[in-house]
Amino acid sequence: MSAVLPLPAGAPRGPFLLGMRGWIGVTVALGVVAVVVPVANLLVPAGSVFHLSDYAVQLVGKIMCYAICALAMDLIWGYTGILSLGHGVFFALGGYAMGMYLMRQIGADGQYRLPMPDFMVFLNWKEFPWHWAVSDSFVAQMALVVLAPGLLAFVFGYFAFRSRIKGVYFSIITQAMTYAAMLLFFRNETGFGGNNGFTDFKRILGVPIATPTMRMLLFVVTGCTLIAFFLLARAIVESKFGRILMAIRDAESRVMFTGYDPLRYKLAVWTLSAVMCGVAGALYVPQVGIINPSEMTPAASIEIAIWTAVGGRATLVGPIVGAFFVNGAKSWFTQAMPEVWLYALGAMFIAVTLFLPQGIVGLLRGQDGLFARLLRATRKEAGSER
Amino acid sequence: MTPDLMRAGAETRRAADERAAAAAAGRSGGRQASWSRVATGELDLAHGAILYLDDITVSFDGFKALDRLTLSISAGELRCIIGPNGAGKTTMMDVITGKTRPDSGRAFFGSTIDLLRLRENEIAEAGIGRKFQKPTVFEHLTVFENLELALKSERGVRSSLFFRLSGEQLDRIGETLVLIHLKAHAQKKAGLLSHGQKQWLEIGMLLIQDPRLLLLDEPVAGMTDEETERTAELFLSLEGSHSLVVVEHDMQFIDALTRGRVGRRVTVLHEGRVLAEGSLAEVQGNDEVVEVYLGR
């Protein structure tokens, strides 16, 4: 399906990773995330117009996690042409790995005043199940944030790609995968808190999690991670590896008959994409304060694809824009007109599919972009006046 | 145990060893270690044939696309293959390139590489390049990038992440661009090329892979007369250093490839088997061939 769209491929090689404007953009983004927002939130007094509320910080922090997912989706869908409708499971696995550590950090401060998480006490468990063995170690759980989604993606991807499952068939089995994981995590016996999941976090690394400074720290870390992942993704699509991914999207058989093994390339980018989602999940959980199996619903995964499509596939910037646009609209709609939100989301997706095959970014960029057309129109007018 | 018995036992064993060695020598033509046939990856042309298909049968739901096809291509040969629709020409290419696994038969590249044990990309790396019937290029990459990907180099993931073109490789791409007359379009997206130009680009991508054997499925379809003529010249210039198998409907093109060259053979496929083989004039004069082409 993606082969039909006039997607832009890698820019002609010249400057390192980004053009001048791109690097300025990255620097500005870094400045906003690491300086402007912290100052506006922590130092500017609450009455000032320049003050940024805690709510806004939390919202933007959350959306930045979503943006990482959309970026990960762009690598696998936009560039490689493989539509995953199960990326939510990787996000949730990363989130759960972080959540387990945060649950252990509660210590004996839970409702039952016992050194085990409340849900285990409630289930009358006397000791931790095997998969909680390293949950009190921050380093080990952070390793799991990467390893759990990475391993699942690697094994799943290996068998799917080896069997040459493609197109909608692949999308459908990814949906099945996230759905199966959701059902598994809903069960109390699985040891992940059943349908309530994990919540009521108190500390991270011994530091109270609900303080403004801690929240801001998490925000800054998330923002820097997003920027770092953007640059990583950029480096990937600018390399020969990235061009092979696009070649797989355009004509996989030609890639094969040229001597490349598509399996390895697909597996590499698929696993990387899953790991990025896992990291996003791990950053999301301490900021939002809850993780439960609803993150694995098929709809949650489909939303990631929508952000990517709305922003513009195979552009890297687009999916980030898309995540902000759709989620910004969502938080506005759900406050102003909660009953209309789902219709608005649907309308947005239809509009993008029909009128903006390259998404929001495609509208602005390039020869047929809005800017270019406006520029031409003004020039023409100026010419006719003369 | 007595010394006599021990000596007798040793004699028996030596005799048995000798018999086994003689039998083994007979099996592998005196060469050692027949198990290394697959592993070597070195193209062995000692027997003069670059491609050897033996008794290949492929059936789809009972329909025999290839019916005990046996065909051999010599090293450096340019072989044209013709045949009516459904004769099995494309299926034959699918078998050679690993896309289709035959029900029975053997396929060897040189005398050591068993094609039926390799996957598509391994066959391509071993040195068989294939051009599809419908030009297949990477539409969203530029002409230059298309050639860069096809260029003979490491095919692994890690090397692709840190790949930089060397000066020689750049020259090679430049030469190929000139050869396929696309120098002026190097930075153009391949999807924007005309049909004939795409055909040329695909041929260029094949050549830059440095294959030993080129399989060309209707390479001049959609080309202008001038382009067709140039293509014929290009293929003729490759003969000798490369082996070529050209599947074509265009009799004029076949004529251009074979005219005036003694010993250049044309193979006619029909219903999955070889119907006739010989010079173009010979096969055109063959009653059976005429019958197949014109109908009864």
The confidence score (pLDDT) of residue A5 equals 34
CB–CB contact A251 B136 (8 Å): yes
**Number of inter-chain CB pairs under 8 A, A vs B:** 93
Note whether B276 and B283 are within 8 A (CB): yes
**Residue B190 to chain A, least CA–CA distance (Å):** 11
Task: Note whether A30 and A222 are within 8 A (CB).
Answer: no
* B94-108 average pLDDT score: 94
User: What DSSP string describes chain B?
Assistant: --HHHHHHHHHHHHHHHHHHHHHHHHHTTT-S-TTHHHHH-----TTSEEEEEEEEEEEETTEEEEEEEEEEEETT-EEEEE--TTSSHHHHHHHHHTSS--SEEEEEETTTEEGGGS-HHHHHHHTEEEE-SS----TTSBHHHHHHHHSSS--SHHHHHT----HHHHHHHHHHHHHTT-GGGTTSBGGGS-HHHHHHHHHHHHHHT--SEEEEESTTTT--HHHHHHHHHHHHHHBTTBEEEEE-S-HHHHHHHHTT-TT--EEEEETTEEEEEE-HHHHHH-HHHHHHHH--
Question: Which of A237, A243, A257, A265 would you mutate first to test chain B, the one with the most B CBs within 10 A?
Answer: A257
Q: Would you tell me how many other CB atoms lie within 10 Å of the CB of residue A177? A: 23
Q: Does A246 sit within 8 Å of B141, measured CB to CB?
A: yes
Confidence band for B22, pLDDT divided at 50, 70 and 90: low
Tell me how far apart the alpha carbons of residues B132 and A255 are, in angstroms, rounded to a whole number.
12
Among the partner residues B140, B187, B205, nearest to A12 by beta-carbon distance: B187
Ramachandran category for residue A259: left, alpha or beta (phi over 0 → left; psi -120 to 50 → alpha): left
CA distances in angstroms from B23 to A59, B20, B27, B28, B33, listed in the order given:
79, 5, 6, 9, 13
Q: Cα–chain-centroid distance for residue A332?
A: 20
A259·B142 Cβ contact <8 A: no
Read off the pLDDT of residues B5-14 as tens digits, 9 standing for 90 and up: 767 777 777 7
Q: Which of residues 86-125 of B touch A (CB under 8 A)?
A: 97, 99, 119-121, 124-125
Whether A219 and A287 have beta carbons less than 8 Å apart is answered as yes
Of A311, A234, A236, A231, the C-alpha closest to A270 is A236
Distance CA A192, CA A107 (A): 17
Look at A257 and B97 and tell me if their CB atoms are within 8 Å.
yes
CB B160 within 8 A of CB B154: yes
Report the 10 Å Cβ neighbour count for A299. Answer: 11
Tens digit of each residue's pLDDT (9 = 90 or more) over A85-124: 999 999 999 999 999 999 999 988 988 998 899 999 999 9
Beta-carbon contacts of residue A8 (< 8 Å; ≥ 6 apart):
A314, A315, A358, A365, A366, B140
Beta carbons of A258 and B205 less than 8 Å apart: yes
Query: What residues in A contact B99, CB-CB < 8 Å?
Result: 253
pLDDT in tens, B270-287: 999 999 998 888 888 888
Q: Parse chain A into domains and list their residue ranges.
A: 2-355
Residues in chain A with CB shorter than 8 Å from the CB of B129 are 257
Mean pLDDT per 10-residue section of chain A, whose length is 386 residues: 36 67 91 91 88 92 97 96 96 97 92 90 91 94 97 97 95 96 94 92 92 93 96 94 96 94 96 98 96 95 94 94 94 89 86 85 74 73 59
Interface test with B, best of A244, A249, A254 (most B CBs within 10 A): A254
pLDDT at B25: 53
What pLDDT was estimated at residue A368?
Answer: 64
User: What is the C-alpha to C-alpha distance for residues A74 and B47, in angstroms, rounded to an integer?
Assistant: 51
The amino acid at residue A317 is V
Instruction: Please state the pTM of the whole predicted model.
Output: 0.87
Give the lowest-confidence range in A170-174, A199-203, B16-20, B244-248.
Answer: B16-20
| Closest Cα in chain A, distance from residue B272 (Å) | 24
Top-confidence residue, B181 or B33: B181
Return the pLDDT at A65. 97
CB contact under 8 A, A258 and B145: no
Q: Which of B32, B225, A321 is nearest to B233 (CA)?
A: B225
Predicted pLDDT at B34? 47
Q: What is the ipTM of this complex?
A: 0.84
A246 touches A8 (CB < 8 A): no
Mean pLDDT of the B245-259 span: 86
Domains present along chain B, CATH in parentheses: 77-98+127-294 (3.40.50.300)
Share of chain B above pLDDT 70, in %: 89
- Give pLDDT tens digits for B113-147: 999 999 999 999 999 999 988 889 999 999 999 99
B157:A265 CB<8 A: yes
What are B151-174's pLDDT values in tens digits?
A: 988 888 998 998 988 899 999 999
Work out the mean pLDDT of chain B and round it to a whole number: 86
